[in-house]
Amino acid sequence: MMETKTPKVNEVNEFLEIASDFEDPLEVIRESLSNSYDAGAESVTISIKSRPDGSKIVIEDDGQGMSESDLESFFDLGNSTKNDPEIDSIGYKGHGTKIFYKSEKIVVDSARDGTNIHAEMDRPWEKLNNRTLPEYEVAKRTTTSDGTRIEVTGFKSGRGFSPESLTYNKIEHYLKWKTLAGSTKYHFHPDEFREMEIVVELDDEIDDSQDKLVTNNKLEFPSEQLNPGDGQYPESRMCKHYGPHTIDVEAENGDTTQLEIVGMVGGKETRDELPTYGRHSTQFGIWLAKDHIKVERLNEAISHDNEFIHFFFIANSQDIELSANREKIRNKSSAIYQAIEEDLNYFLSKIAADPWFKDYLQQRRVAELNRKAKSQQKSIEEREAIVTERTRFEPSNQTEVMLGLERSNRQGAKPTITVEDFDLGADVNALVEQNDRLYGCSVHQELTDHFEADKPLESISKIVCWEIGDQDKLREYARNGYHGGSVEFDLENNRIIYRNGTEYTVHVVEVSSRFE
Amino acid sequence: MVGHEVIGGGDYDEYFDGIMYSVGSLTDYNISRERYEDYISEPVKNREGFENFNGTLFLDSGGFKFLGGHGLDGSNFEVEIDQEKVYEIQDKMGGDILVNLDRPIAPSDDYDARVEKARQTAENITEFLDLSDGTRSARFLTLHGYNYSMLDTFLNEIDKIVGASRVHDEFDGIALGSLVPMKDNKTNLIDAIQDCREILRDWKFDDLPLHVLGISSTAIPLLAAVGADSFDSSSYLHSAINGKYATSLVSTKSLSEVDFSHCNCPVCSNDELVYRMQGNARYQKDVLGPVAMHNLIIQKREVAKIRDCIRSPGTEALVDYLEHTLGDHKSLRRFTHRVVNESLGGYF
């Protein structure tokens, strides 16, 4: 006989799991903003205070407060009231608010239509970890204004939320890159778009560099500047906006979506006008977005010879699917995602071919060449100073030793030794002519260089050097032998005698002495 | 129409509104003197079977075949070729558009070699204009060069010997040659056509139509977009010989993979021809003949679309056409972007 069984859910574990899924505590802010926006708020204030037993976070908005069932959804798991994706709302999984469970206490006051619902939950995180499902108490009273206030005490801050690492700068970057504060919706749907003021207040102990941060829910690009500026980096403040463009995408299986693309190309100074916080390489490029909130980058959409760092594009599609914590796209193997990738690639190939972009790259290149020329000019000036200050010609490399040799000929030095062939990279650097005969030479600034370079003696007839160098070094070679043979420096007669079974004589031409 | 039985007896006149032929090709099939003399015995349009042909007959000189002093080589005879002989043949065949005997350049030619060829071409031009004085045919001047400076050098040589004003007054069009060796390098082709348009403006020849000799298929939309007015193409034939069936201007399929029901052209709508294209014929010509005809129809249809796009106001239609044809091919995308940006006003 067959028996019917129902799969069980361990509710406590589920809550623990979901709350833990939100790795970055800044996600509290993201969830709050999405909720406030969904409640139709025009203004939301988030204040964060550092406390010894964890952070205290207060989120307050003027949107329509929660109904009783909304409040249940707030505390329940997987019971979102925002299940209709057609409605202009952002979260609809019912997971987001569960991040608040990582705290000592949650107090919610939410007012609508003259009634305020007050709810309190004590020690949720501790209870969950003790395998108990935390409960909350609800009370109602009358009120005159709408709005919601959520107070989370003793929030278990991870590293990202600890007072020493949290700053206005970091939060602003997070807001504009990861939350609806960086929404690109107003570019595409100005009629549907509702502007929301976002205020963040940090305890002075956390960051006292400003009173508060005030922004809105729009990603605004730095102003356009199509022409290069002055100075060493003329391209640095160049900026061009692209879009908004809406592209109809059709996948091979017939699925369709709309891709809403807006973006800019800009130099470093332009990009610095955005709250970047940190390295541009992790923030710029091509972002895929859902609900007009950036999710993941797809820098491969730009061909490799165009560095993605100059680009900041957001391509939104409501048909990309997100993981529970909104950090990843999970339908990458679907036909529609592939089609999005393909069409985005095509669109960006047009940007990369835009004459303005080419001009921008050209400005960069020319500026770089100018900087190089300037530094070369500087090095010319330095070299000029050396030439002017010295009392006589002094070679600083092997080629100049050769020029010195020719110069000594012109000034009447005897015997005349002319350079017929010179190859800096070869063991035998030069062929010189003396009394109608050619000799293979090794050329050095100092005679000792030949031995330090470990070059052979058998294959050359002469070593041409500017000076002899450290004679004690030569004596050491004479004492210890060289390349398995013995070497004798007869410098009075300008010669080296090398014996390794055969005897070789190498003539030394000390060029400096030819000027005496 | 002559040869219509090979392609199943259908009426394909509309696809033969222009024919390009080269004097240099007369003896391609190792013909005998008798056959040769027959070929040039009366104008093409007077011959039996061509009475109803009212398309344009473009007769190229075939200069590239005669480089190095070669003439026409038949099976049992040779004809020495010079400007006078070429014109005589063009005249006898009754061409509507005639081209002077030219000396095409090669990528390996140095400056002096190119100048010498330009000088020889210039001398031919003088003779060509004298010989053809009073002709009812249109006369096209051949130009050779890959960029502005080369074309300028070429025109300077022509100017020295012929005179720019005579060139302008007596020629009806320009034919840009020597591009065949770079037919697969679209960057160079676009450069050449753009520069040619520019030099024609600077020499005040820009009221003359520009024909591009020997370049076709995927390059057509790009070159049309940068200012070429006409093309001649045998790629429809070459593709067919290699068993390639055109599905668009830029893509082909191997004959064995084709689903003929996807095409509505008269060839693919004819059961007998489809049966043959499926390999059911004794001779390859009967298999591939219809394929060539199909390929030509595809090319002609695309050219007609391009023409419509050019005629429609603004550049939007042509940009749209380029985007949806070449733009879809990754390898052709950058050329599309280039001509859109440089000649059609850009995307942004």
Interface membership of A354 toward B (CB under 8 Å): yes
d(CA B245, CA A180): 52
Q: What is the pLDDT of residues B263-318, one digit of tens each?
A: 999 999 999 999 999 999 999 989 999 999 999 999 999 999 999 999 999 999 99
Domain boundary among A147, A181, A216: A216
Crossing angle, helix B186-202 and helix B148-161, to 10 degrees?
Answer: 40
Any domain includes A392: no
- Do A255 and A291 fall within a single domain? yes
Q: Are residues A467 and A403 in the same domain?
A: yes
- Pick the residue of B222, B341, B344 with the most A CBs within 10 A to test the interface with A by mutation: B341
Residue A79: predicted pLDDT: 59
Measured CA to CA, the distance from residue B192 to residue B145 in angstroms comes to: 7
Interchain contact A305–B (C-beta under 8 A):
no
CB nearest A354 (choices: B333, B334, B348): B348
Residue A383 lies in a domain: no
Please report whether residue A233 resides in a domain. Answer: no
Q: What is the rounded average pLDDT for all residues in chain B? A: 91
Instruction: Provide ipTM, 2 decimals.
Output: 0.75
Q: Which long-range contacts (C-beta less than 8 Å, at least 24 apart) are formed by B37-40?
A: B39/B93, B40/B89, B40/B92, B40/B93
Q: In this structure, which amino acid lies at residue A351?
A: I
Round to the nearest angstrom and report the end-to-end CA distance of chain B. Answer: 50
- Same domain, yes or no: A403 and A471: yes
Domain that holds residue A327: 239-360
The reply to whether A182 and A292 lie within a common domain is: no
pLDDT grade, residue B12 (50/70/90)? confident
Same domain, A203 and A266: no
Residue of higher predicted confidence among A49 and A86: A49
Give tens-digit pLDDT for A353-407. 999 999 999 999 999 999 899 888 888 899 899 899 988 899 999 999 999 999 9
Chain A residues in contact with B346 (beta carbon < 8 A) = 354-355
For chain A, what is the largest distance between any 2 Cα atoms, rounded to a whole number of angstroms? 120
The answer on A256 and A211 residing in a single domain is no
Contacts of residue B342 in chain A, CB cutoff 8 Å?
Answer: 355
* Residue (of B101, B179, B172) closest to B140 by Cα position: B172
- On whether residue A372 sits in a domain, the answer given is no
Mind giving me the DSSP string for A200-231?
A: EEE-TTT--SSS-EEEES---PPPPB-S--SS
CA–CA gap between residue A242 and residue A257 (Å, rounded): 20
Q: Tell me the C-alpha distance between A95 and B141, whole Å.
A: 76
Please compute, for residue B316, the number of CA atoms within 13 A of its CA located in the half-sphere on the CB side.
3
The answer on A347 and A457 residing in a single domain is no
Longest dimension (CA), chain B: 63
Report pLDDT digits (tens) over A98-110: 778 888 999 999 9
What is the structure's pLDDT at A57? 87
Is A484 within 8 Å of A500 (Cβ atoms)?
yes
- DSSP-derived 3-state class of residue B244: strand
pLDDT, residue A93, reads 47
Residue of A nearest to B338 (CA): A353
Q: Where are the alpha helices (DSSP H) in chain B?
A: 33-39, 83-93, 111-131, 148-161, 164-170, 186-202, 219-225, 235-241, 271-277, 284-311, 316-325, 330-343
Q: Annotate B254-314 with DSSP letters as a single string.
A: EGGG--GGG--STTTT-HHHHHHHTT-SSSHHHHHHHHHHHHHHHHHHHHHHHHHHHHSSS
| CA dist., res. B69 & res. A269, Å (int) | 65
Does residue B243 have a pLDDT over 80?
A: yes
Q: What pLDDT is stored for residue A52 in this prediction?
A: 74
**In this predicted model, what pLDDT tens digit does every residue of B55-93 receive, in sequence order?**
999 999 988 787 766 788 888 888 888 999 999 999 999
CA–CA distances in Å: residue B284 to residues A147, B3, B6, B279, B290:
83, 16, 12, 8, 10
pLDDT above 50: residue A184: yes
Burial (Cβ within 10 Å: 0-12, 13-18, ≥19) of residue B260: buried
Q: Answer yes or no: is pLDDT of A336 > 60.
A: yes
Question: In terms of domains, do A16 and A165 share one?
Answer: yes
- Residue B222, both tokens: 């790009």
Q: Within an 8 Å CB–CB cutoff, is residue A356 touching chain B?
A: yes
Which pLDDT does position B77 carry in this prediction? 84
**What pLDDT was estimated at residue A87?**
47
**Nearest residue on chain A to B346, judged by CA atoms?**
A354
With respect to residue A387, please indicate whether it lies within any of the assigned structural domains: no
What's the CA gap between B218 and A25, in Å, rounded?
A: 56
- Burial class, A36, CB count within 10 angstroms (exposed 0-12 / middle 13-18 / buried 19+): buried
Distance of CA A21 to the CA centre of its chain: 26
Minimal CA separation from B338 to chain A, in Å: 7
Spatial distance between the Cα atoms of A419 and A403, rounded to a whole number of angstroms: 9
String of DSSP letters for A59-76: EEE-S----HHHHHHHHS
Domain end residue (candidates: A216, A250, A278): A216
- Give yes or no: residues A201 and A247 share one domain: no
The mean per-residue pLDDT over the stretch A60-77 comes to 86
Q: Do B347 and A346 touch (CB under 8 A)?
A: no
Alpha-carbon distances of B81 from A389, B62, B70, rounded to whole Å: 75, 11, 8
Asked if residue A161 has pLDDT above 70, the reply is no
Do the beta carbons of residue B326 and residue B340 sit within 8 Å?
A: no
A332 within domain boundaries: yes
| For residues B144-171, average pLDDT | 94
The pLDDT of residue B308 is: 96
Interchain pair A355, B341: CB under 8 A:
yes
Contact list in B for residue A242 (CB cut-off 8 A) is 348
Look at residue A46 and tell me if it is in a domain.
yes
Q: Pick from A96, A87, A83: which is nearest to A34 by CA?
A: A96
Q: Which residue among A240, A346, A355 places its CB closest to the CB of B346?
A: A355
Q: Which of A95-109, A218-232, A303-317 has the lowest mean pLDDT?
A: A95-109
Residues A39 and A187 in one domain: yes
Contact B342 A355 (CB under 8 A): yes
Does any domain span residue A221?
no
Whether residue A465 contacts residue A510, with contact meaning beta carbons closer than 8 Å, is answered with yes
Q: Bridge-partner residues for A509, per DSSP?
A: A464
Residue A217: pLDDT over 70: yes
A89 and A199, same domain (yes or no): yes
Using a pLDDT cut of 90, give the percent of chain A over it. 61
> Do A177 and A48 reside in the same domain of the chain?
yes
- Positive/negative CA dihedral, A226, A227, A231, A232: positive
The pLDDT assigned to A92 comes to 44
Only one residue has tokens 């107070």, namely A151
Q: What was the pLDDT predicted at B192?
A: 95
CB atoms within 10 A of CB B62: 22
Q: A19-33, A66-80, B219-233: which has the highest mean pLDDT?
A: B219-233
Q: How many domains does chain A have?
A: 3
Nearest residue to B60 via CA among B104, B10, B110, B3: B104
Contact B333 A349 (CB under 8 A): yes
Q: At what angle do helices A168-178 and A27-38 cross, to 10 degrees?
A: 60
Sign of CA dihedral A338, A339, A344, A345: positive
Identity at A118, one-letter amino acid code: H
Give the separation between CA A241 and CA A312, rounded to whole angstroms.
10
CB contact under 8 A, B337 and A356: no
Which range (A60-74, A454-468, B283-297) has the least confidence? Answer: A60-74
CA distance readout (Å), B152 to B121, B196, B308: 14, 9, 33
Mean pLDDT of A424-436: 93
Domain holding A196: CATH number? 3.30.565.10
The answer to whether the CB of B118 falls within 8 A of the CB of B153 is yes
Under 8 Å between Cβ of A316 and A279: no
Residue A248 or A164, more confident: A248
